[in-house]
Amino acid sequence: MLIDMHIHPIFYGPICGDETEVAFRGDTFGVWKQGPMEFDELFAEWDVCGLTRAALLPLDVTTTVGGWVVSNDQVEALCKLHPDKFYGFASVDPHRPDALEVLERAFCQQGLRGLKLNPSKQRFDPADERMEPIYALCERENKPILFHAGLSWEPDAPAKYAHPLAFEEVAIRHPGLRFCLAHFAWPWVREMAMLMIKYPNVYTDTALLYVDSPEEQMMELFTKDMGPMWFERCFPRQVMFGSNGPRFRAFKLKRALDKVPMRDFARENLYWKNALRFLSGEEV
């Protein structure tokens, strides 16, 4: 089994009927020269690497950019088309006055499984007291949060809001809130490791491929950026497989990770068990 915890369904065919909207998504997210893809093409790629399920991430940038890079409604619609394949996440712009209502509807009526936030693009400090009601709602509803962390290729998205240390206060205040700092918070891998060692509710994912080939970058990540045993020894329950599609292709990351030496239990955790625990909070 393989679960991809990091997909932006920007070009998923069924939600690409409006060309202007698709162009807005591309420009806002910072991805170009790609176009709508139908499910047969997407799932052909899944089949190559044995991908079985994926988390779909929207982004609400209503107050900062004036729209959504895939909306909660669109994620809900995609999930209804393939409920056996997708875990739908919600998003909410923390600056909007009706943020809690949007989120409550997403969790309680739309069946969405977690919350996606991007402090860089949405321009907020994760430790800001104004975020507390959102975190409290996620905790009450047992929904995890996936934060963008580290380098962001999106335009107008300062990295200062996405440094791992910006999230430590959240981990201290909310030990019962599961949250993922995505992309291994690259380039701040050691700071990311520090947080995971100290806070068992803090997760990350493998959605990074910024400077090298997949084989090179995954080997660097697991054996040089970190000590080669750190994942297995120190936080084997906190790293999830994520591809960051459409920026990176899942099967190439999987191919590269298959070559990184690790014990079977750690690989199982990485490929699917940690994702299931992150989503539900229950032991797998």
The one among 11, 12, 29, 199 contacting another protein by CB under 8 A = 29
The one among 18, 19, 47, 101 contacting another protein by CB under 8 A = 47
Site map (CB under 8 A) of another protein, residues 199-218, x = contact: ----------xxxxxxxx--
Least distance from another protein to the Cβ atom of residue 205, Å: 16
- Measured from the CB atom, the residue of 152 and 201 that comes closer to another protein is 152
- Measured from the CB atom, the residue of 38 and 132 that comes closer to another protein is 38
The one among 1, 23, 44, 165 contacting another protein by CB under 8 A = 44
Distance CA 108, CA 211 (A): 40
4: which strand partners? 54
| Span of 23-31, 76-84, 116-124, 176-184 interacting with another protein by CB under 8 A | 23-31
159 binds another protein (CB under 8 A): no
- Strand locations in the chain (E): 3-7, 53-56, 60-61, 67-68, 86-91, 114-117, 145-147, 179-181, 202-205, 239-240
| Span of 32-40, 55-63, 73-81, 138-146 interacting with another protein by CB under 8 A | 32-40
Site map (CB under 8 A) of another protein, residues 223-262, x = contact: -----------------------xxxx-xx----------
Kindly state the DSSP code that residue 160 receives in the 8-state scheme.
Answer: G
Residue pair 182/210 in contact (Cβ under 8 Å)? The answer is: no
Collapsing DSSP states into helix, strand and coil, what is residue 268?
Answer: helix
Angstrom CA distances, 217 to 162, 195, 210, 252, stand at: 21, 21, 8, 11
Distance, C-alpha 243 to centroid of its chain:
9
- Measured from the CB atom, the residue of 231 and 251 that comes closer to another protein is 251
- Within 8 A by CB and 6+ apart from 233, the residues are none
Q: How many residues bind another protein (CB under 8 A)?
A: 30
Least distance from another protein to the Cβ atom of residue 83, Å: 23
- Measured from the CB atom, the residue of 52 and 142 that comes closer to another protein is 52
Query: What amino acid is encoded at 154 in this protein?
Result: E
Query: What amino acid is encoded at 57 in this protein?
Result: L
**What is the contact surface with another protein in residues (CB under 8 A)?**
26, 29-34, 37-38, 40-41, 44-45, 47-48, 153, 209-216, 246-249, 251-252
